[in-house]
Structure 1
Amino acid sequence: MWSVTMQLMKRNLTMLIPAGIAILVGSMFISCTFLFSNTLNYSLRKQVSANFGEANYGVIQKDSSANDSGALSTVADFRLNELKNLKGVEGVRTDVSTPLEINAKLGREGLKHASSVAIASANPSSMVPLQLTSGVWPKVSGQIAIADSVAKQLKLSIGSTVSASTSAETSLYGTSGSLSNMKVVGITRDDAGAFSYYRGACVLSESDISTVQGISTGFDDLYTSEIFLKIHPSAGTAESQVINNVKSVLPQGFAVQSKQALQDQQIKQLGDGGTNIITTFVLVFGILAMFVASLVIGNTFQVMVAQRRRTLALLRTIGAKKGQLYRSVLLESLVLGFAGSVLGVVCAIGLMSMLGLAGAKLGGLSFALIPSWQVVIIPIVFALIATTIASMSSARMATKVTPLEALQPLEASENKRSNKTRIIFGLLLLLAGVALSCFAIYRTYASTHGSQISDNDSETLVLVAIAGVIFCFISMLLTSRIWIPAVLRAVGAIISHIGAASTLASANIQKNPRRVAATGSALLIGVTLVSCLGIGAASAKATMGTVLDSHYSVDIQAVGQSLDTSALHKVEKAEGVGKAELVSSATATIASGKYKSASIDIYGVNPSTITDVMHGMINAQELDNGNLILSSTSAKSDATLAKQRSLPISSGNSSSREIPLKLGEYRGIDSTHGLYGVVSEHTFDSMKLNHVSNQIWVKSDGTASTANLVDNVKNALSSYASVNVIGSIAERALWEKMVNSVLMILVALLAVAVVIALIGVTNTLSLSVIERQKESATLRAIGMTKAQLRRSLAVEAILISLGSGVSGIIAGTLFGWLGSYVVFASFGTVAFPFDWRMACTIVIIALAAALLSSIIPARRATKVSPVSALAEA
């Protein structure tokens, strides 16, 4: 039967190509999933160990107390000279860093300032977790290697002279220090991302890094909690022996850990393997794509078996057994699945290789080809399972063919009993899904209107809603043989009056409802999921907008004693700045509830313009009335404080003053203390607070990236000393980027299923053309033109795509609204948007794809002359 099977495959190769493409796309997707996971795992490992440089071991604190006294460990505690002299230890670097302000005089521009971070140099220099783009590493006091971002901001190069300082506010020791006439000997770049928060780091000698922090006793008295080692045992010495020697030198409470072990530990802390969760999540969509592909394959084999009935009957006549025919169909599907999946794996590996060679990046992820057995084996196994299951029904159909049936043409018959069972089971699932969905809606509504539920109950409600959606969706698929043809029949009845081509297309759809339903279901799955995610994302953005506003109320804060109105004007002119406001700040003392003498940061703002620079809910009228609007997040830490109508506030030696108190939904302000609030400028002045300083609050106009906006503000204030640019815009942008990225990735993943479904539409039309050769020839013989025949196939494709697409949009919208309500109701009023742009895009893509999918079948139908087609039939 092997040779017979191969001959049959060659004969029907044209019919098998679309199904093979579906398998190729699905297996390629699964293979890419594992390749992406490998790349992500590799990138995460590099990121969590970025501070190692070329070190392969780290000395870390293993318990809460580093020594008997409980004091912080210093460099001297690690006895570096003894570590360096141990055999097998080729390099030692201490993890010592300090915030650093670099000052440079730039001719006519005057003195400019830039903030960064500095680390100590190491020997050998390969231990430094930075790359040297030009120059050399600092070797003696008075030399500095600066970050490339600082060099760009201050227009510095090798040989430039700068000064550096650390303020007492930012120093770990509460002291300040400075270095003058520092010569720039190198430019560094942070490729590993060890200091991404500062956009790179500077390098100083050990003596200079202690001086700049105001520690006159030297480098040995600096605090550190981690040492990096480069261990390479000499011949005849075991690595374990070197590690034991290192342990004998270490202070109590510290242990030696390999770089590999640290990576494993950090990756595990991301959540049970971290990347395994992502892989599993993405793999679900790969399995979905393969499921859609199996629908296409099932369609293909059912039609092929129906066409081969005469051939199969002849094989039975000459002695072929039912089991041989059954195995022949399964073997054909296995060969198809194996060939398609192997090509899919090869394409996936080729794609990842090209991305790696091109240096493509996604956020902080750099693509690279990192093979593993899962990349090859799992896609092939999935493909073989999917094709086997999809062809079983057709294989059973082949065993029912008798020699007598070969003497006359026979259409594949429907199993009415099986059809009734499907409908009954589908309706039961629909009732269960609606009941679960209604229960989730009711409980969610109750929880937002006074009924208290726990976090576990909230998670359960989400699971209940998901189960309800799944049951409803499975019910739609099980009953698709009833409702999809009915929908298409209704649409066809409307368009059948347009012309002969439309009438013929409508009639052809009703001729084989089983195949049309299977094709429509494949397209329905992709469109429903894309619509569901699109609606969910739109609802999330609308609903969570106020949440983001309350969490990240101020985009950027520039903090410094020297800031004034002239600085404000410079910031306002910076690219990417929408609005900027000069704000007064001071620290006062309150006595309320559990706070007997707590510090609070108070900001004096202009009530008429504060909403221009803040996202949070600030009532200008309440500010004008002399109220202190306390951050509700601050107040949550003390129930008594949250209920008070006024708050006694004092500053320095001044007497306490009662200030009317209101709560506001805002946060994300970088404050020195846990409590903070805003008052009007007039109220702020009347309180006579001590140690008043200025800040500039900035709101982005959205035209510049977060990094560029921060740099632009820094550059605008570079002539002002000791200015720190901070703020929550990075966190806000990160959350917004995560929502957009997740949506983009999910839609891209689901697009794979839609592409496979559209292949199925093409396949359905092709099979329909092959089955209807005699009918098409008859129509041509009685006068139907080639153009009319092409139009009928185009209308047929449009009806299938349009009916399934619109049904998918409606179902996806309802599912998206349900999920959004259950998930986001606890955050506030849930928005129920309908994304017309997305819906129209889906419909247009479906219609365009339908027209394209009808081209090849139409050419096949019109290529054969009526006489030859009738003769072949």
Structure 2
Amino acid sequence: MVRLTLAQMRRSIGRLSAAGIAILIGTAFLTATLLAGTVINRITTDSIAAQFADSDLVVANGAGIDEAGLEEIRGTEGVEAADPQVMRAFELVSGSKRTYQVVVPTASDPRFEAQEVVEGAMPARSGEIALPSDVAERFGLALGDTVTVVRSVWTPSAEGAAPEAGAPTEEGAPSEDATAPADTATTPDEAAASAGEGGDAAPADEPAPDEEAPAGTFVDTNEKLTLVGTLDDPMGAYAQVGGAGVLSNEDLTVWEAESFVPGDSATSYNAVLVALAPGTDLEAVRSTVTGSLGGDTKVWTSAEYAKDQAAQMTGGEDVFTYVILTFAAIALLVAALVIANTFQVLVAQRTRTLALLRCVGADRKQLARSVLLEAVILGLVASVAGILFGIGLVQLALTVAGSMDLGIPLPSVVQVTAVAVLVPLLVGTVVTLVASFSPARAATRVAPLAALRPSDAPTLSSGAGRVRLAISSILVVGGAGLLVLGVLLGQQGSAEAGLLAATAGGAASFVGVLVGAIFWLPKVVSLVGKVLTGSGSTAKLAAANTLRNPRRTAATSTALLIGVTLVAMMSTGAVSARMSMNNELDGRYPVDVSLATDGYDEYGGNQPVELPQSTIATAEKVDGVESVVPLTATSVTVPLDGNDITFLARGVDPGAATALSRDKKAVEGLAPGTVVVPAGVAESWDISTGDQLVLTAAPLPEDANPEGTPATLEALVTPMGGRALLVTPQTLEGVATGAPVTTAWVGLADVNDAASVVPALQDALADSDLPIDVTGAAVERAMYQKVVDTILGVIVGLLAVAVVIALIGVANTLSLSVIERRRESATLRAIGLSRSQLRWMLAIEGMLIAGVGAVLGILLGILYGWAGASAALAVMGDVTLAVPWRDVALVLVVALVAGLLASVIPGRSAARTSPVEALAVD
């Protein structure tokens, strides 16, 4: 039987090619996923280990290592040097450019230095800084230039003075509005944590509850530093935080001490790098340090610590690999449908051969083993080819990425693991074997007498059992119920429970649709064919052919249905999320973009800096900008809860503000005698619409006695974002005479162009003498659009693999149909059907199968996308459901064109066959 099986495979090599290609793509995808996961894990581990440079040991303690512990380590016999691992983040300013820059102290030993000097040198004294080369280039800095570092210094309140907005109250708790800005009220520890570092210094202890915290606030202080060196990070030690600058130990130590609230404990460190003297026994030092520090102290080599930190970052799980494996599983599922379809037809094609084998003594088990052996051989060969192809793809990706200088340590050669080879080989073979079970059973049911019957066109049973129908109905109905429940839970604020229920319901209902496809999908294809193809004989034959073998039609169209449904679902969910996000941003911000010189001082308290008219004129000339409206501003005090609270008040023309605002409610009612209060401020200070607020010009550092008259205004609470109060320019001029223009609101001609207009606006203002804060809905919209589009592009690209495999199945189905219907095609040719009509009949058949599968997939995808968006996004507010018409149209066109192209080779094969030759076939 083995020789017979191999002989049959050689005769059917053309028919097996499509199934082999399907499994090849699936296993290549799986192999590439596993190898990519290995590469990413290695990059992550190497990047973390790079922070430790050439240190011999890393001492870590969850409770932190204090100064005494650090000295204990340094005093251990054999330890030549020990540095705490410290990482901080400060605002870096040069002209109009600013960024948050992570910095580390100079190393006491060259073995602790992870970066290399490109130009200049490392800081050797106070007042010096070294920066990554790309940061220096972006800021236009050369060696010897001055750069400003903004740091937070704890400043006690004057005795008896009322606390400023956001400053701690007499009881030591922050005031209700929490009005210290996020950038000025953030300690260095918190800033470093926000920059992505989780292992530098442990947070300082908070005062005990019964202790009275000192009154005061964090105040920004500018430090002028000289650039003495530019740096390169060859191993990507700080790639996760965008690169690190280097400060002198002296500066960083002083700055850190001044950033603590009096009474806080001294800084402790989570990790200390250790360099050993030559010839020192590493294990002996490890044992000594562990014993002397005690507690939860662990002493690792740098490689061991890097692996531990990488595991903590991912929760001990390779999340990336698991996510991509999901898409690989989808591709293999679609491949299994194509393979099962192929083997079903192969068995049907060999009906007379199998019957003859039964006549000469072959039993049922031998026939079944023959089909299964054929599947195993096909699975092994295609899987091996897929593994080689997948390895080649990853190697090509590494080669291309390595030439792009991405700033991360990329391996030059792909590291092939046993798992990356054995798992795809096993999965590919098993999937092919499982897909052949049903055809193998069909082979055992061939009667010996079938060999004596005329050779009609093979057909397969089109019936489907009641059990399948019952299972399908239960899954569809139950899944739909869970889907509705998930949407309702999401709308009630239970986002996680809603998403879980919607996901389970969507999966169950989709499986039900697939299981029951045999009952309805072929009839839909035939009905659509009859409706769209008219009365032409060729079109009628094509529509009728789709019902000739319902199982094959259902399997082929279902394979495409899976891929298209998932693509449409992700696209619909993404566009709905984007629309909902845009609506939310429109509610939070009154305008698209805000240009301000006081963007970091919305709490008031600092001298307003006037926005130059030249800056406004420059903004007006940027392509995509429709209008620019200037706003005056000054700091005012408002008596609330017994204290004078300082706010920033802005003056804007009501008509211009209304015309520019995306959300008219944000500035609704602004008029002389009123003050618009943002909803967040109103909630913090218990302000309601109709309340009377008294605005008084606040004393500023450079203007102790401001001119103006206090004004009593009626409060209007609106959904406007931010913390600044809004009044008319005339009202503000009365409160504070000569209030300067510090802000300009910018309206875009098309808000959907935010991703291109905002960067152009930022570039146009880059040469301004003053730092201009560019904020607003369009800025966030541009950022989120880029993130959403990138994620969507990756996901759709992965799912496209399943669609490609499904389209291979369409071509396979048509090819097998041509072989099956050789005599029928010859008869049609004999009675007058031309070659072009025969080719057109197959083209219509292919487009019907692909088109119906695509349309149904699009409809299901939109439904599931809407349900998922409603369940997941309802917690953020009203969800806007949208349809990605462009993506939908593209998928449909691709499916129809692919169906047409899939018919080309089968059509040519059918047209080339002579009618006499075809009729001569047994």
Query: TM-score if structure 1 supplies the norm length?
Result: 0.81
Distance 1:704 1:773, change over 3 A: closer
- Residue among 437, 444, 452 paired with 1:407: 452
- Residue among 133, 148, 153 paired with 1:148: 133
- Residue among 61, 78, 91 paired with 1:87: 78
Distance 1:400 1:114, change over 3 A: closer
Q: Deviations over 1:443-478 (max 9, x none)?
A: 46xx86xxxx563xx543434433443343333323
CA distance in 1, matches of 2:690, 2:310: 46
For residue 769 of structure 1, report the CA deviation from its aligned partner.
0.8
Q: Secondary structure at the match of 1:510?
A: coil
Cα pair 2:732 2:739 within 8 Å, conserved: no
Please tell me the residue identity of whatever aligns with 1:321. D
Distance 1:334 1:650, change over 3 A: farther
Cα pair 1:120 1:206 within 8 Å, conserved: yes
Cα pair 2:586 2:777 within 8 Å, conserved: no
Please tell me the residue identity of whatever aligns with 1:332. E
CA distance in 1, matches of 2:448, 2:826: 28
Please tell me the residue identity of whatever aligns with 2:561. L
Bigger mean CA deviation after superposition, 235-244 or 375-384: 235-244
Q: What root-mean-square deviation, in Å, do the aligned CA atoms of Structure 1 and Structure 2 show?
A: 4.4
- Residue among 689, 698, 712 paired with 2:763: 712
CA distance in 1, matches of 2:59, 2:665: 49
Distance 1:666 1:359, change over 3 A: farther
CA distance in 1, matches of 2:378, 2:321: 27
Q: Deviations over 1:111-147 (max 9, x none)?
A: 8986674543224446344443334434466765344
For residue 395 of structure 1, report the CA deviation from its aligned partner.
0.5
Please tell me the residue identity of whatever aligns with 2:556. T
Q: Deviations over 1:561-582 (max 9, x none)?
A: 5443246347627968946666
Q: Deviations over 1:518-572 (max 9, x none)?
A: 1111111222222222222222222221223445677566546544324634762
- Residue among 680, 683, 686 paired with 1:633: 680
Please tell me the residue identity of whatever aligns with 1:665. P
Q: Secondary structure at the match of 2:795?
A: helix
1:29 aligns with 2:26: no
For residue 798 of structure 1, report the CA deviation from its aligned partner.
1.3
For residue 290 of structure 1, report the CA deviation from its aligned partner.
1.1
Q: Secondary structure at the match of 2:440?
A: helix
Match of residue 353 from structure 2: 311
Q: How many equivalent residue pairs? A: 828
Cα pair 2:689 2:717 within 8 Å, conserved: no
Q: Secondary structure at the match of 2:546?
A: helix
Match of residue 439 from structure 2: 394
CA distance in 2, matches of 1:247, 1:617: 67
Match of residue 158 from structure 2: none
Q: Deviations over 1:629-653 (max 9, x none)?
A: 3333344557x45688345666768
Q: Secondary structure at the match of 2:285?
A: helix
Please tell me the residue identity of whatever aligns with 1:624. A
Bigger mean CA deviation after superposition, 514-523 or 229-238: 229-238
Q: Secondary structure at the match of 1:132?
A: strand
Please tell me the residue identity of whatever aligns with 1:738. V
Please tell me the residue identity of whatever aligns with 1:122. A
Q: Deviations over 1:738-775 (max 9, x none)?
A: 32222222222221111111101000011111111122
Match of residue 502 from structure 1: 539
Please tell me the residue identity of whatever aligns with 1:28. A
Structure-to-structure mapping, 1:354-373, within 5 angstroms: 354-359=396-401, 369-373=414-418
Q: Secondary structure at the match of 1:872?
A: coil
Match of residue 170 from structure 2: none
Q: Deviations over 1:718-749 (max 9, x none)?
A: x34x8777888776544333322222222222
1:427 aligns with 2:473: yes
For residue 343 of structure 1, report the CA deviation from its aligned partner.
1.7
Distance 1:178 1:300, change over 3 A: closer
Q: Deviations over 1:187-227 (max 9, x none)?
A: 55697373877x65543444566789998xxxxx9967466
CA distance in 2, matches of 1:691, 1:80: 56
1:229 aligns with 2:273: yes
For residue 848 of structure 1, report the CA deviation from its aligned partner.
0.9
1:816 aligns with 2:862: no
**Structure 1, gaps ≥5 residues long:** 68-75, 104-110, 216-220, 670-674
Match of residue 536 from structure 1: 573
Match of residue 327 from structure 2: 285
Cα pair 1:168 1:174 within 8 Å, conserved: yes
Structure-to-structure mapping, 1:651-662, within 5 angstroms: 659-662=713-716
CA distance in 1, matches of 2:813, 2:140: 65
Distance 1:162 1:362, change over 3 A: closer
Please tell me the residue identity of whatever aligns with 1:756. I
CA distance in 2, matches of 1:681, 1:248: 68
Cα pair 1:587 1:600 within 8 Å, conserved: yes
For residue 303 of structure 1, report the CA deviation from its aligned partner.
0.9
Please tell me the residue identity of whatever aligns with 2:564. V
1:340 aligns with 2:382: yes
Cα pair 1:57 1:259 within 8 Å, conserved: yes
- Residue among 318, 331, 337 paired with 1:295: 337
Structure-to-structure mapping, 1:320-331, within 5 angstroms: 320-331=362-373
Match of residue 786 from structure 1: 835
Q: Secondary structure at the match of 1:5?
A: helix
1:511 aligns with 2:548: yes
Cα pair 1:568 1:580 within 8 Å, conserved: no
Match of residue 133 from structure 1: 118
Cα pair 2:814 2:906 within 8 Å, conserved: yes
- Residue among 183, 191, 203 paired with 2:246: 203
- Residue among 558, 564, 568 paired with 2:615: 568
Match of residue 863 from structure 1: 912
Q: Deviations over 1:599-627 (max 9, x none)?
A: 55323141444568876666334332444
CA distance in 1, matches of 2:586, 2:694: 29
For residue 302 of structure 1, report the CA deviation from its aligned partner.
0.8
For residue 817 of structure 1, report the CA deviation from its aligned partner.
2.8
For residue 357 of structure 1, report the CA deviation from its aligned partner.
0.8
Query: TM-score if structure 2 supplies the norm length?
Result: 0.78
For residue 20 of structure 1, report the CA deviation from its aligned partner.
0.6
CA distance in 1, matches of 2:761, 2:45: 28
Match of residue 13 from structure 1: 13
CA distance in 2, matches of 1:552, 1:500: 62
Distance 1:128 1:636, change over 3 A: farther
For residue 356 of structure 1, report the CA deviation from its aligned partner.
1.0
Distance 1:745 1:598, change over 3 A: farther
1:378 aligns with 2:432: no
Structure-to-structure mapping, 1:660-679, within 5 angstroms: 660-667=714-721, 669=722, 677-679=725-727
Distance 1:462 1:872, change over 3 A: same
Percent sequence identity is: 29
1:547 aligns with 2:593: no
CA distance in 1, matches of 2:277, 2:733: 68
CA distance in 1, matches of 2:617, 2:308: 47
Distance 1:421 1:583, change over 3 A: same
Match of residue 72 from structure 1: none
Q: Secondary structure at the match of 1:783?
A: coil
CA distance in 2, matches of 1:709, 1:56: 48
CA distance in 1, matches of 2:227, 2:578: 50
Q: Deviations over 1:490-518 (max 9, x none)?
A: 23334555534323322322221221111
Q: Secondary structure at the match of 1:622?
A: coil
Please tell me the residue identity of whatever aligns with 1:804. G
